[in-house]
């Protein structure tokens, strides 16, 4: 049938979409790049970002996790304050807004009802709105003032992969463009750094055997799993745990490394898998301290680190990428580990139980 043709030689859409990520990043760079190497965005978006005194990112699920990374990118690169909110909570528990807010809706499908509820409400209040989506003709795209296209191509697997990394790449370019509008000089070349990210992604996509082995060693029979990380790595832990839950039905939790000891460490038993991410130099020692804490209580620990920060015994060392962009590469092994865990546990990878690709009801 048609879906078999689209999958090509891949057994699942999810695996195909994971492998497409390096191409997607290069494609985004090409779409938003000027000949002189600067970032091209509509002037209207540039102006809206400049005029806002605070950005409110609204999203759900995996797109919310991209939003958490987006906050850091916009705050660090463009020095503009950002809040990130879960769409379904925002509507009924609205924070005190700044004087000139800009609302950014991040949505793969552009159809999520929880986001639309917020969009309608803030438009009614007269605030400017921007949708970042993979489907430019979608409801959220049509109804917002501005749209940024993530150019990831159709994402078929219910569990989002390439849409997430595409969202983070576009958020990077939005941050860079905003910085230039504000006259902020960057000490790195974002276009070049995203190219390095794409190559690193390729390297990681070629490490399927190692990642399948990690899935087998840590996740074949376990009822639960923890992901721990600090700073930017924490946000990827949230996404990694969501991926694992969605497709393998393993109860998984993403935790800030330093927070585990304040209660949840009580759940660590002999053999509990704890996957730690260590790609941030300023917290490398402290996250490794957290790994020791759980190991001392019997956890089966797996450390994913990055070149320059690695230590003996790490399970996987990622190629070095710019410190702002680590989330784009760190998530690849987590996606693949989830994929192989789901396969080993005989789960329906592309169509997990109880889930829909796009949720158009509140
Ligand atoms: C659904 C999907 C998730 C997705 C979320 C947000 O729950 O199962 O994978 O992250 O909706 O979707 P959106 O299209 O708005 O990004």
Task: Express as a percent the part of the chain with pLDDT over 90.
Answer: 94
Spatial CA neighbour of 69 closest among 233, 206, 205, 190: 233
What phi, psi does 339 have (nearest 5°)? -60, -50
Identify whether the C-beta of residue 186 lies closer than 8 Å to the C-beta of residue 176: yes
Q: Which residue has the tokens 């490794």?
A: 288
Identify whether the C-beta of residue 99 lies closer than 8 Å to the C-beta of residue 53: yes
Q: Is 357 one of the catalytic residues?
A: yes
Mean pLDDT of 38-59: 97
The CA distance from 29 to 326, in Å, is 17
pLDDT digits (tens, 9 = 90+) for 7-23: 889 999 999 999 999 99
Q: Is 63 in the pocket of ligand 1 (CB under 6 A)?
A: yes
| pLDDT at site 1 | 46
Q: Is 358 in the pocket of ligand 1 (CB under 6 A)?
A: yes
pLDDT digits (tens, 9 = 90+) for 303-318: 999 999 999 999 999 9
| pLDDT at site 4 | 54
Pocket perturbation via mutation, ligand 1, pick of 58, 63, 110, 171 by most ligand atoms within 8 A of CB = 63
Q: Is 160 in the pocket of ligand 1 (CB under 6 A)?
A: yes
5 has pLDDT over 80:
no
pLDDT digits (tens, 9 = 90+) for 164-180: 999 999 999 999 999 99
37 has pLDDT over 90:
no
Distances (CA, A) of 112 to 46, 63, 256, 264, 331: 25, 11, 28, 32, 23
pLDDT band at 110 (very low <50, low <70, confident <90, very high): very high
pLDDT digits (tens, 9 = 90+) for 341-354: 999 999 999 999 99
The CA distance from 257 to 240, in Å, is 14
What phi, psi does 290 have (nearest 5°)? -65, -35
| pLDDT at site 362 | 84
Q: How remote is the CA of residue 107 from the centroid of ligand 1, in Å? A: 7
| pLDDT at site 2 | 47
What phi, psi does 174 have (nearest 5°)? -65, -45
Q: How remote is the CA of residue 113 from the centroid of ligand 1, in Å? A: 10
Q: Would you mind telling me the total number of residues written for the chain in this entry?
A: 362
Q: Is 353 in the pocket of ligand 1 (CB under 6 A)?
A: no
The CA distance from 15 to 10, in Å, is 7
| pLDDT at site 3 | 53
In the sheet that holds 129-133, the strands lie side by side as: 82-86, 54-59, 101-107, 129-133, 146-149
| pLDDT at site 295 | 97
Q: Which residue has the tokens 């005989």?
A: 346
| pLDDT at site 294 | 97
Those residues whose C-beta lies under 8 Å from the C-beta of residue 358, and which sit 6 or more positions away, are 108, 109, 111, 112
Pocket perturbation via mutation, ligand 1, pick of 109, 159, 361 by most ligand atoms within 8 A of CB = 109
ipTM: 0.97
Q: Is 359 in the pocket of ligand 1 (CB under 6 A)?
A: yes
pLDDT digits (tens, 9 = 90+) for 111-140: 999 999 999 999 999 999 999 999 999 999
């Amino acid at each position: 049938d048609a879906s078999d043709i689209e999958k090509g030689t891949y057994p699942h859409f999810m695996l195909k979409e994971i492998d497409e990520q390096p191409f997607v990043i290069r494609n985004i760079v090409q779409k938003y790049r000027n000949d002189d190497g600067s970032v091209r965005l509509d002037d209207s978006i540039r102006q809206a970002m400049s005029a806002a005194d605070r950005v409110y990112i609204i999203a759900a699920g995996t797109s919310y996790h991209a939003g958490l990374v987006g906050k850091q990118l916009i705050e660090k690169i463009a020095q503009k304050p950002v809040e990130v909110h879960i769409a379904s909570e925002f509507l009924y528990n609205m924070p005190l807004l700044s004087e000139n807010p800009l609302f950014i809706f991040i949505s793969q499908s552009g159809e999520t009802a929880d986001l639309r509820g917020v969009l309608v409400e803030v438009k009614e209040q007269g605030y400017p709105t921007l949708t970042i989506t993979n489907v430019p003709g979608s409801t959220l795209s049509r109804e917002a003032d501005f749209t940024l296209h993530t150019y990831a191509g159709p994402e078929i697997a219910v569990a989002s992969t390439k849409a997430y990394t595409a969202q983070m790449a576009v958020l990077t370019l939005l941050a860079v463009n905003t910085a230039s509008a504000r006259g902020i000089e960057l000490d790195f070349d974002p276009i070049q750094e995203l190219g390095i990210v794409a190559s690193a992604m390729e390297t990681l996509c070629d490490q399927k055997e190692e990642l399948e082995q990690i899935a087998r060693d840590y996740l074949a029979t376990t009822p639960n799993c923890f992901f721990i990380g600090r700073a930017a790595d924490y946000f990827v832990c949230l996404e990694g745990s969501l991926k694992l839950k969605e497709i393998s039905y393993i109860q998984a939790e993403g935790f800030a490394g330093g927070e585990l000891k304040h209660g949840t460490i009580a759940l660590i038993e002999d053999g509990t898998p704890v996957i730690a991410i260590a790609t941030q130099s300023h917290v490398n020692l402290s996250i490794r301290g957290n790994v020791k804490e759980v190991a001392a209580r019997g956890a089966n620990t797996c450390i994913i680190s990055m070149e320059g920060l690695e230590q003996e015994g790490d399970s996987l060392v990622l190629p070095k990428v710019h410190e702002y962009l680590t989330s784009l590469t760190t998530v690849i092994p987590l996606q693949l580990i989830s994929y192989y865990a789901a396969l080993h546990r005989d789960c329906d990878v592309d169509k997990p139980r109880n889930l829909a690709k796009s949720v158009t009801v509140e």
